[in-house]
Amino acid sequence: MKLKKFFIILLLMLLYILISSKVLIACGNCPQKSCSATSDLPTAAGPPASQIGLDKTITEVGYSMDEFLSFTNKLHPENRIGYRLLENVPIIYGNIPIEPLNKAAIEKTEKLEKQFSALPGVYVRKVNVTELTKKPWTPQTWTFYIVPVADGFELLWVIETKDTGLNQYYVAQQCFRMGGSKNRPWRRTIAQTPAFSEYELWDLQNSHSLPKTSLSFVRRNGRWQPMPATKNHIVYRTPLGHKMDTARSGGNLSKVPHLEPKFRPRTISTFEPDIDCGLATRCNLENTWVCALYWENTTHISNHHPADCLHAFVNLGPLPANSKKAIRGRIYWTKASKDQLFASWLKNLPSD
């Protein structure tokens, strides 16, 4: 009897060891939890903060929780950056490709998705676009792979089409949110980032009769250029955006602000001179912290909509039906100057 009891205990111990080892192995692929490989990293990604106790919640004001993400940085406490995965309607131009993707393009996407899904600490958010919005989007599924790194986040956006493909230009707006401490409570569950909030800075400057200062910058002619310090909707074209707008306007770029759909609904946007690339940043007033967003295939950058945001318009096309492609991106959130940010961005550009 004692021998039987001994073997039962031994069997239970072996079973416990086996289960524990599997849990530890799986930890590296778990999108929601940290593991020892990422515990030393300052950055983390996840859903918005708890909505308990607010006057209104995200869902009560008509949005879905699945639309939003939040980012934190232990080295920059009391700041939380927000992200909206889908905003407004796509800007569409050109034909949908009929020919299927070639083997090299398929293999590239599969390789990147396999690579990112296996990275320690990866946070995965998958959304069915047509279920997430009632607006007219072509049926498609997006999967975002978000990997914390020392100076921000590595990003991979995988777009998968259904029975209908995406046009030559199928441009989706991504919203990078940096509201202040005086923002509406439901917005603060997504983003409360006083270090990078222009609205909060402008309130302070107005109270002291000081001119407004821009914290938002883009690259033009090889230099950082400030966005105008205004709540008006300002838009910048990248080289890809210039090509797209030239095609859809028949060569008359003055028509673009009036074309439908607009870059901001019910608004005539002001277009500033073209910029060098899709890298856009906010910095603090002292230029000692930066918070930047970059996506491949960015066509336009805009600000304020009407929250305290930056926006990247990203071309997802062209993509045939029943296909998928991967687009790489990067969020920088680190103690650095704008020039140091640009140097890091150049080093991190994909080589393939």
pTM attached to this predicted model: 0.87
3-state secondary structure of 274: coil
**pLDDT by residue, tens only, the chain of 352 residues:** 444 544 444 444 444 433 333 332 333 333 433 344 566 899 999 999 877 666 788 888 888 888 999 999 999 999 999 999 999 999 999 999 999 999 999 999 999 999 999 999 999 999 999 888 878 899 999 999 999 999 999 999 999 999 999 999 999 999 999 988 878 888 888 999 999 999 999 999 999 999 999 999 999 999 999 999 998 999 999 999 999 999 999 999 999 999 999 999 989 999 999 999 999 999 999 999 999 999 999 999 999 877 899 999 999 999 999 999 999 999 999 999 999 999 999 998 876 5
Nearest to 154 by CA among 163, 146, 162: 146
- Give the pLDDT score at 112: 97
**CA atoms of 316 and 29, how far apart (whole Å):** 26
Residue ranges of the domains in the chain? Answer: 1-30, 43-348
What local confidence, expressed as pLDDT, does residue 53 receive?
Answer: 65
What digits encode the pLDDT tens for the residues 1-60?
444 544 444 444 444 433 333 332 333 333 433 344 566 899 999 999 877 666 788 888
CA angle 299, 304, 305 (to 5 degrees): 85
225 SS3 class: strand
Closest to 35 (Cα-Cα) out of 191, 186, 138, 148? 148
